[in-house]
Amino acid sequence: MIPLSDVDRRPISFPIITAFIIGISTIVFLLELLNGDAFVIRWSVIPAEIAAGRNLITIITAMFMHGSWLHIIGNMVYFWAFGPEIEDMMGRFRYLVFYLLGGFVAFLAQVFINPSSTVPSLGASGAIAAIMGAFLVTFPHDRIRTVILFGWFVFIRFIPAIILVGFWFLIQLFSEVGTLVQRQTGGGVAYMAHIGGFIFGMASARLFESRQRRARQGI
């Protein structure tokens, strides 16, 4: 399932911060392509390094990096589907702080679950998961225009956020349990970062919302 946009509301103002983050992420990905593996390793989160108190700046830099074209396109599509409404609700500065904190907590969750790993971790997924968590508690009944791929068939359906986002979270949860059971130590999807970011988003979204903007949205 590929979420595209909120059917039931539109942001009142253009989502400048969301667009800015997408732009920065794209530029950083192009730098990765130009500079190769050394650049990726230098600026990615390596859990063992973070656990030892080294290279802490990578918790920020890794949020804007991605491992492949599919990785960045998938993340930015999800971000554009859920981000603008949350930016509109929080205001630009609070939204940016929320995004960065979400990514920070997400990477810390990944480090906590596997502090000895030397496998680089990167991507905006944890921060975007925080945005999705915020969306779930703020607009649970909004319908999301979603592309559903079923074999060769493509459908467009309007799915309530509580179902779409809730289903996504359950996938992350069960995937992380499966990873722990199999005791994987290699690379792959950082499911714990998704879970950590999502829980942070749900738990803290109300703290970042503007009362005036909530009233303007009629909620």
pLDDT along the chain (219 residues), means of 10: 91 93 97 94 94 94 94 95 95 96 95 90 94 95 92 90 91 66 51 92 92 68
Backbone angles phi, psi at 158, to 5 degrees: -100, 110
Q: What is the pLDDT of residue 183?
A: 46
User: Is the Cβ–Cβ distance between 57 and 93 less than 8 Å?
Assistant: no
- For residue 177, what pLDDT is reported? 55
pLDDT of residue 12: 86
pLDDT of residue 185: 45
Could you state, in order of their start, the residue ranges of all structural domains in the chain?
2-217
| The pLDDT value given to residue 88 | 93
- Residue 17 and residue 92 in contact, taking contact as beta carbons nearer than 8 Å: yes
> Looking at the whole model, is its pTM more than 0.85?
yes
Asked if the 2-217 domain carries CATH number 3.40.190.10, the reply is no
